[in-house]
Structure 1
Amino acid sequence: MRFENTGIENQTAPLTRLDELMESLGFVRAGQWDYDRVTYDRKFEIKNDVFYLRVQGYAVEGDVGGRHAIIKLMKPLLGKHYYPHGVEYGEGENFPSSLVNQCEALLAKVKEGLANINA
């Protein structure tokens, strides 16, 4: 599921500040980066299902490995994990409304944090 009109897509922020913001909201970047891209995941476990809210971005200046990059964010995704195949984001997936609401609230906090970073 792709979240539309969250206000974070196309926003830019320095990597170190973005890392701090996302970590404070429970997102993990860990090893999910290369020199041009980053991926932040927030894991949700509901009953026996695992879901991930994913926020991706790419460097428009600098490089991620050097920790001196400006990151431009993309549209956030919500996916369901299927063992052992991975995460599916397809339109055919059924996401609990409580989870979607929780993700929308988190994305609003990301938007607010970005506004503070870029103020």
Structure 2
Amino acid sequence: MKFEETGIEGAIVDLKPLDHLMSNAGLVRASAWDYERVTYDFKMETPMKNETYYLRVQGYAIEGDVDKRDAVIKLLTPLLGKHYYPHGIEYGDGEDFPENIVEKSNQILNRVKEQLEVYKNEQK
């Protein structure tokens, strides 16, 4: 599921403050090592066995190097996916997402947007 028009997609942010503001919103940068891309996840488990959802915000470096922590990142459209063991995460339109998971995701994305606005204002 894509979260369109959140005010996050297309935002351009230096990596260090981005890591900080994402962490403040509860999103963790995935440990996968990459020079050009970043992925931030918020894991949501349910009482149902093997039912796990991930709110994911991805971005890519438009300059600099992620590994050297001097990158400038452009954020992509946030996604909500359901994990299927052992296949991975599905984001497709055919997925059924519980209302409480979608609401929680929107709350988190609103926090991220607010933090992005603070960062932008500090840069002026």
2:103 to 89, 101, 104: 101
For normalisation by structure 2, the TM-score amounts to: 0.93
Which residue in 2 is equivalent to 1:11?
11
User: How many pairs align?
Assistant: 119
1:85 corresponds in structure 2 to 87
CA distance, structure 1, for counterparts of residue 78 and residue 117 of structure 2 = 17
* TM-score for the superposition, normalised by structure 1: 0.96
Counterparts of 1:33-44 in structure 2 under 5 Å? 33-44=33-44
Q: What percent identity do the matched residue pairs reach?
A: 56
1:91, distance to aligned residue in structure 2 (A) = 0.5
Q: Structure 1 residues 32, 100: CA separation in 2 closer, same or farther (over 3 Å shift)?
A: same
After superposition, the C-alpha distances for 1:62-101 in whole angstroms (9 at most, x for unaligned) are: 1101100110000000000000010000111000111101
Divergent runs of 4+, >3 A = none
Question: Which has the larger share of strand?
Answer: 1
Aligned partner letter, 1:28 = V
Aligned to 2:25: 25
Q: Which runs of 5+ in 1 are unaligned?
A: none
Is the Cα–Cα contact under 8 Å of residues 30 and 38 in structure 2 kept in the other structure? no
